[in-house]
Chains A and B, each alone.
Chain A
Amino acid sequence: MLAPTFPNLVDQFRRLLGVNGVLSAHGELAVYECDGFTIEKNSPDVVVFPRSAADVQAIVKLANEHGVPFLPRGAGTSLAGGCLPVGGGVMIVLTRMKQILEVNLRDRYAVVQPGVVNVWLTQALKGTGYHYAPDPSSQGACTIGGNAATNSGGPHTLKYGVTVNHVLGLEAVMADGSLVEFGGPAEDNPGLDLTGVMVGGEGTLAIVTKVWVRLTRDPQGVRTMLGIFESCDDATAAISEIISAGIIPAALEMMDQGILEAVEQAFHFGFPLDAQAILLIEVDGLEAGLDAQRDQIVAICRRLGAREVRQAKDAKERLLLWKSRKQAFGAVGRLSPSYCTQDGVVPRTKLPHILRRITEIGAKHGIRTVNVFHAGDGNIHPILLFDERNQDQVRRVLLASGEILDECIACGGSVTGEHGIGVEKIGFMHKLFTSDDLDVMVRLRQAFNPLGNLSPGKMLPMAGACGLEQTQPGRRAAL
């Protein structure tokens, strides 16, 4: 319930940010009622667009004065409802804070505002010999502030690590409106590694207003291969073998026959449609070592029954392969009107098992599943296909999704490798963690966010909002 003074708050925001910096009309707010997780929707009461950390501080202080909850949002590409304004309140959209403030190659870091889109930084670094390593599939749209909040991954994190391995420091507005710097351009600042815990805090600990990121040397060379397999078992066995042979590929991705069909229709790469699975394997680094690694990978794939292992013949073919992979989700609309993807993780050696179980669980519930995922990390993304107009299918998709994630936990894995808990997976937290674990997490949040007014109802089941009843499982696919 909004405080009676709420209209005054909106006026105060307008005075602070100008008319263009505030949205409060019902129709304007609709865009902000969900992120990439569209099952649950709730409108914020007002959306504000700060241009500076000082604006964010003033917004937070005003919201606190009026007793209204608030939460940050980047580009809204999160897939777990991290930006869902549970209980309404003030949504602080950081996309107008989009300056790359500093690039320092000598000290291998850059400083960016949170609204900088991931790929802009890499584009800005072109020609310098350096890049920003985390590359989520949504990198053309998602922001570095959002990446920091969710500790984003991406295909190349297998070798290079996820976002937290590349964040040196943060400037953030705390829940009380104070502005604090954590870490910075120098490594190893004394005290607790609060940067490390705020990255992946899903916006429940503070609102990031500046990020110091590590820059990574471009690899001297790259070899991109396509392994074509007659069975998913063979392909997943090859994944384990490659990694345990001591090779750390830059990326190791798998697509099964179901998704290949859609991807081929969309991108015409020339994927063999009768293959059961393909592996997209990339090694990078010094030219002096690459051909030997490639030969070793080819030998392992052949030994495990690969029909063929092709190498991308030039940069153009490599780019098309990666486009096919990164935009695979967009092609799913060719298979089904709606889909729902999961983000489980299993130990790599359990991949053959989990893929068999996904097929069995899908069959049991009469739901078709296809797979495209970060195989080298054991991070699966099963896609469940259905029609959201059919309530019975919807019910069965929910059951199947839950069973798949339960199976990941039974394998010693996790229910999210990179998308986050948000609101979507709150119900799984008590399966992964004991009540003591969750109690300590609540205590950590209380240290940062003692009143719980920053992004309430997220991540922890005891957060106040009692977990959302899921009634609809997925997003409408791009048709």
Chain B
Amino acid sequence: MADATDMLPLTDTVAPADQAELAGVVRKAFDSVTPLYPIGGGTAMGFGVVPKRPGLGVSLAGLTRVVDYPYQDMTITVEVGITMAELAAVLARNGQRLPIDVSQASQATLGGLVATNFSGPLRYGHGTVRDYVIGISAVDGRGVTFKGGGRVVKNVAGYDFCKLLTGSLGTLAIISQVTLKVKPLPVATAWLTCELPDFRRAESLLAAMIDSKTTPVAIELVTGAHWQAAERTPMLIVGQGALGVLLVGFEGTQSEVDWQVEQLRREWQAQGASSLGCHADDAARHLGSQLTQFGSSSGPLVLKINVRPSAVTSIMDLLLEIDPNVSIAAHAGNGVVIAGFSEFSVADASKTLIQRLQPAAVAAGGNVVVWSCQAGELTRQAVWGAGRGDAEIMRAVKRQFDPKGLLNPDRFVYGTL
């Protein structure tokens, strides 16, 4: 993994020791008109348009305190520099967790998770991080510290800054502290898998999931060379003659999981499916982790395509038509397709993205975003997808929160402010 500083035009990096010091750094930058680049664990530095304006890196590594953990209330208030592995360990001591998959959890931070709105397979059953942030503190582009929400699980006082800042890529404010609601750890977990000869078969099984008696927490569909490398994913191998694998994940008590695995097995067999596999507990967790890591280990150009769930297989067909060597992991139940390309030229990538993939995704209700591109610089339209009617309001919000345009300049969707 490249160091964070390789990807950003940093003149220097500071690491405030507490939230007050962070506010001081931003105020000073506001006065001197210095761009700021917030840095968490540095695992998503390639996300967004490559920034050009030299500026100061602001590492949140000094903000790692657990401020309050009333575990019986099932909430936790923490500073954002805590790594996701450390947060998971703290919560696990009380049998709890934040049910959001995170890639590179020993490096990735909570602040980075909230800023990028990262998610994995569990989003089908548990939603995304926006559903768990109930309180947030941050420093806006003027250096003003503000908060939204609170520390209780239900609260409609004031505008919901938790939602606004989640996924804003640090461009409205630098998030310093978050209150989360958490959930109990499940007792048991398992995946049922099915090898597929083609995507038409995949779509018929996916459509039938709507009437399944089971309640999965994950519905994934994978294809491509990445999943054929046996040494990388010993449990998940797309076999000879198969195009892909459908994976359905379950969590709950042992009896709930056992019942669901058997029930779905019966449902799939009744639909004529064969080549079924089952992976439980440690093996299941390993599989979940492989699916989560895919985006950060799948080649020099990684795309995230979001569409209506019923359009997932046709988008996958299109991706294979564009590049027969593409590898894909789709959160098929949610309509989120992650595609990794092994070889491409920047010119081809832009053309392919803008002329072929974006129109198909837009027609299916969604868009295409470049998750990481290690081989060259792409334009904003290539990176953030086809513009939509809400772009002007986004720019208006950005101007209010960061009037001098200093927070992560040029990386996000806005374009000319």
Contacts and interface: CB of A to CB of B under 8 A. Distances in A.
A447 B152 contact: no
Contacts of A107: 308-310, 335
B155 to A, nearest CB: 4
B166 interface: yes
Interface string A223-255: 000000000000000001001101110000000
A419 B336 CA distance: 34
Given A107-B335, A186-B366, A412-B152, A180 B158 contact: no
B130 interface: yes
A192 B397 CA distance: 9
Nearest to A186: B366
B384 interface: yes
A27 B354 CA distance: 58
Contacts of B93: none
A100 B2 CA distance: 50
A429 B394 CA distance: 26
Contact of B259 (A165, A197, A288): A288
A28 interface: no
B3 interface: no
B306 A186 contact: yes
Nearest to B255: A288
B276 interface: no
B145 interface: yes
B306 A189 contact: yes
A220 interface: yes
Contacts of B153: 345, 377-378
Interface residues of A, number: 89
Nearest to A152: B156
Nearest to A420: B156
Interface stretch (B26-34, B71-79, B224-232, B234-242): B71-79
B390 interface: yes
B394 A194 contact: yes
A289 B71 contact: no
Contact of A187 (B74, B158, B306): B306
A412 B151 contact: yes
B1 interface: no
A180 B401 CA distance: 21
Interface string A185-227: 1111111111111011100000000000000010010000000
A414 B396 contact: no
A289 B150 contact: no
A388 interface: no
A353 to B, nearest CB: 13
Given A181-B388, A181-B389, A194-B390, A199 B160 contact: yes
B42 interface: no
Contact of B252 (A105, A286, A428, A444): A286
Contacts of B151: 347, 412-413
Interface string B146-179: 1110111111111111111011100010000000
A412 B157 contact: no
A161 B152 contact: no
Nearest to A345: B152
Contacts of A420: 156
A183 to B, nearest CB: 8
Interface string A146-160: 000011010001000
Contact of A432 (B72, B158, B214): B158
Nearest to B203: A106
B365 to A, nearest CB: 4
B255 A180 contact: no
A356 interface: no
Contacts of A185: 308, 365
B197 interface: no
Contacts of A432: 150, 157-158
Interface residues of B, number: 83
B210 interface: yes
B157 A153 contact: no
Contacts, number: 253
A184 B399 CA distance: 25
B111 interface: no
A441 B210 contact: no
A440 B165 CA distance: 13
Contact of B384 (A162, A191, A443, A460): A191
A164 interface: yes
B389 A197 contact: no
B144 A192 contact: no
Nearest to A440: B146
Interface in B106-143: 117, 119, 127-128, 130-131, 140
A196 B384 contact: no
B397 A194 contact: yes
Contact of B160 (A179, A187, A197): A197
Nearest to A161: B131
Contact of A286 (B259, B367, B369, B388): B259
A387 to B, nearest CB: 30
A174 interface: yes
B256 A459 contact: no
A349 B156 contact: no
B307 interface: yes
Contacts of A348: 72-74
Nearest to A413: B152
B160 A418 contact: no
A182 B391 CA distance: 10
B223 interface: no
A447 to B, nearest CB: 4
B147 A285 contact: no
Contacts of A379: 154
Interface in A427-453: 428-429, 432-434, 436-441, 443-448, 450
Contacts of B307: 186
B131 A425 contact: no
A153 B155 CA distance: 10
Interface in A333-381: 345-349, 374, 377-379
A414 B117 CA distance: 26
A93 to B, nearest CB: 23
A349 B309 contact: no
B163 A196 contact: yes
Given A187-B334, A243-B72, A437 B146 contact: yes
B41 interface: no
B293 to A, nearest CB: 19
A374 B72 contact: no
A443 B128 CA distance: 27
B309 A197 contact: no
A179 B71 CA distance: 44
Contact of A191 (B256, B390, B401): B390
B260 interface: yes
Nearest to B155: A414
Most buried by A among B75, B172, B183, B365: B365
A432 B385 CA distance: 39
B400 interface: yes
14 contacts: A191-B412, A193-B167, A196-B160, A197-B159, A197-B164, A246-B185, A286-B256, A289-B256, A345-B155, A348-B73, A414-B152, A414-B157, A432-B150, A450-B396
Interface of A: 104-108, 129, 150-151, 153, 157, 161-162, 164-165, 174, 179-182, 184-197, 199-201, 217, 220, 240, 243-244, 246-248, 285-286, 288-289, 292, 345-349, 374, 377-379, 412-421, 425, 428-429, 432-434, 436-441, 443-448, 450, 459-460
Given A193-B163, A288-B260, A374-B154, 15 more contacts: A106-B309, A106-B310, A151-B156, A180-B390, A187-B336, A191-B391, A196-B160, A200-B156, A246-B184, A288-B259, A377-B154, A414-B155, A414-B156, A421-B156, A433-B147
Pairs of residues from A and B, 4 with the lowest C-beta to C-beta distance, nearest first: A196-B163, A246-B184, A186-B366, A288-B259
Interface of B: 70-75, 95, 117, 119, 127-128, 130-131, 140, 144-148, 150-164, 166-168, 172, 183-185, 207, 210-211, 213-215, 252-253, 255-256, 258-260, 304, 306-310, 334-336, 364-367, 369, 384-385, 388-391, 393-394, 396-397, 399-401, 412-413
